Amino acid sequence: MKKRLILFAAILGIVFAVDLCSKYWTAALTMDSMHVFSWGAIDLFLTPTLNRGAAWGMFASFTTQLLIFRIAVMSYLAYIFLKSDSRMQEVALALIFSGAFCNVFDILYRGHVVDMIHFLFWSRSYGVFNIADAAIFSGAALLFIYLSIKKRHAKHASDS
């Protein structure tokens, strides 16, 4: 149990530190948007954006309800983490929790979430996000992979 909690705390600490540093660095920039690099049809910009809602600014007028929902989801993620018997699932849940924690911290500290990472693919924008959002997405993708593997193993076990 102790190793699992150390893993959880390490992931939370790393995601929180990188997210917080990226937001302070972005706040120090005084431009609207800065082109960072291009690679083929992909362009990366730093575009400081304030987000009072959820993904893509949805539900911005429901800040209290969103905060309560986020804290409830974080509590459930912590519960599942404590019940988990898989390192892959633990890492996935810790990433999702950490990203949610960072965004809740932003809302409580600043009153909004600071987003800044802006990719264009073939000149099309797909939203602006932050390190916390990337942690949530990465954790969700890893959790999806874990559940797919678990389902496949369960199917093979029942076929045998």
Any idea which residues carry the catalytic annotation?
115, 133
- Least Cα distance to 96 among 120, 73, 62, 63 occurs for 73
User: In sequence order, what E strands does 20-73 have?
Assistant: 34-39, 42-51
Q: Which whole-number Å values give the CA distances from 66 to 59, 103, 133, 157, in the listed order?
A: 8, 11, 15, 41
Cα–Cα nearest to 31, from 46, 20, 43 = 46
How far apart CA 10 and CA 16 sit, in angstroms, is: 10
Measured between alpha carbons, how far is residue 80 from residues 29, 68, 89, 139 in Å?
39, 19, 9, 14
